[in-house]
Amino acid sequence: MGTVVQLRNQINNSYYQLKDSVDEKLVLVEEKIKSKLLSDVDLVQKMTEYHIDTGGKRLRALLTLGSAKLCGYTKGGRDINLAACVEMIHGATLMHDDVIDLGNIRRGKKTLNSIWGNHSSVLIGDYLLSRCFEMMVDDGNIEVLKLLSSTSSKIAQGEVLQLQHKGEVDMLEETYFKIITAKTAELFSAATKVGAILSNKETKEKEALEFYGKNLGLTFQIADDTLDYNSDLKFFGKKIGKDFLEGKITLPVILLFQNVSSIEKDKLKNIFKQETRSNEDLNLTLELIKKYNIINECYKKAEHFINLASNSLTVFKDSDEKKILESLTSFSLQRTF
């Protein structure tokens, strides 16, 4: 197990470097989120407190803080306010996702909807979004307001697009990338671009960080979708098969369908047409994924976006912040939590 621990520590190190570099501000982001979600309505307070206690990587908030630091932002607390805002948009989308997917567990704990029901969960997600818009208005920058409001709209459209293609095992790769761009990459992109906007950087720096965030987000989502089928990573303790059991069509399934025989294609179609899938169905799919080396194919696709993300930061002078953001691309692909 020593080798496994060393590997895990090496891969996750870039995340902790970013976290350590803005640690004092991240504490203030947490405080800002708590203060913004205070409510006189008892149920709202209970549900938002529970949501905050479930934690998370806070990666999007870290990206906002890290990008602002890269761009030399030092005065004021706008980076803290907007990092909290970005994180709350993410939280709202998770609540809505869990309702749509009938999710029961997230981050190792029961989901809001499994405790308080779908109706309350949707409304709490809306409550988070409404608070976000208040924070955007308070910031007073029209470019930030346009960016984050547009991003919220794109995320919702991505969710609808995914729902529209649910169970389509023959989904085009192009459609998959449209979905994950809208659902994941757009918020990563907004989180990093905000850092450049706060610092009044030129267009080229804004576009560089926007491009970096988008490609980092694509890498992150491909890795997340691939982890769901990577039985070789069982020793890291991440439960596999969640997306499969929910009937989500992700890159491993799309690439698998492209490679299998006609008989195997029919089997996969039947599996994903069903209302529910069994562990036996999952084991069959995992065997096919191993047979056709699909995990490796997914990581090859992701490496393309890693290179794009890393190369986009060349417009910035060398610094510790730049090195951390560059190395974060490997965390997105190979992370274990």
Which residue intervals of the chain are DSSP H helices?
2-21, 23-36, 42-53, 59-70, 78-101, 112-116, 118-139, 142-164, 173-180, 186-198, 203-227, 242-246, 251-259, 262-273, 279-291, 294-311, 320-334
pLDDT at residue 149 in the model: 96
pTM: 0.92
d(CA 1, CA 167): 38
d(CA 111, CA 99): 9
Domains of the chain from N-terminus onward:
8-334 (1.10.600.10)
Integer angstrom CA distances of residue 228 from 58, 224, 232, 250, 253: 21, 7, 11, 10, 11
Residue the block writes with tokens 């993410």: 90
Q: pLDDT 10s per residue in the chain (337 long)?
A: 343 344 344 446 889 999 999 999 999 999 999 999 999 999 999 999 999 999 889 999 999 999 999 999 988 899 999 999 999 999 999 999 999 988 888 888 999 999 999 999 999 999 999 999 999 999 999 999 999 999 999 999 999 999 999 999 999 999 999 999 999 999 999 999 999 999 999 999 999 999 999 999 999 999 889 988 986 654 444 568 888 998 999 999 999 999 999 999 999 999 999 999 999 999 999 999 999 999 999 999 999 999 999 899 999 999 999 999 998 887 766 666 6
pLDDT at residue 102 in the model: 85
